[in-house]
């Protein structure tokens, strides 16, 4: 079960402020990494599920997601993830069709029982939105979400797929 809270940010300075808040809450980073990847979302039967292929250079990861609940800015979902071949990706893409493609530059920070991601996401080739995601143990995610919300950060209950689809004038 994946548990996450997502926030829309207006600048990288806001993300730096979040890191300072986490430090004041007594959390310390255990690791950091920078990633760049493409996400290709395929068409599905239900709006409560998603099939996403994430492409990191030559590595392809297939993820199936199904929402379980959305409460107070915390989203719970079933998530099944595994590596996939290019042939599998191309085959499923051909059968289902592409719903949305995005490009992400991510800074990811490991805090042990949760992680924090700062994503610069490009939708439709030219729409850039900054996101903060807190993912991990439900209690920690809920606590951090409440603190950040109380400090004026805007929680986002929609998935990145839903946001991307809402931005497209063609769908």
Full set of structural domains in the chain with CATH: 2-167 (2.40.320.10)
pLDDT for the residue 169: 62
pLDDT for the residue 137: 94
User: Residue 97: how many CA atoms within 13 Å on its side-chain side?
Assistant: 4
pTM over 0.85: yes
Question: How far is it, in rounded angstroms, from Cα 51 to Cα 15?
Answer: 28
Q: What confidence tens digit (pLDDT) does each residue in 129-158 have? A: 999 999 999 999 999 999 999 999 999 989
pLDDT for 73 beyond 70: yes
């Amino acid at each position: 079960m994946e548990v996450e809270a997502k926030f829309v940010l207006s600048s990288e300075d806001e993300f730096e402020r979040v890191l300072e808040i986490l430090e004041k809450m007594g959390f310390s980073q255990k690791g950091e990494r920078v990633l760049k990847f493409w996400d290709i979302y395929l068409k599905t039967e239900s709006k409560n599920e998603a099939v996403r292929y994430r492409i990191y250079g030559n590595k392809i990861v297939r993820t199936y997601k199904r929402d379980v609940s959305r409460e107070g800015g915390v989203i719970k979902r079933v998530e099944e993830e595994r590596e996939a071949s290019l042939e599998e990706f191309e085959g499923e893409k051909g059968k289902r069709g592409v719903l949305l493609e995005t490009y992400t530059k991510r800074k990811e920070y490991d805090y042990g029982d949760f992680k924090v991601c700062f994503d610069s996401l490009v939708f439709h080739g030219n729409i850039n939105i900054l996101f903060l995601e807190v993912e991990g143990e439900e209690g920690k995610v809920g606590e951090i979400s409440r603190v950040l919300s109380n400090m004026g950060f805007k929680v986002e209950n929609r998935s990145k797929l839903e946001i991307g689809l809402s931005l497209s004038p063609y769908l």
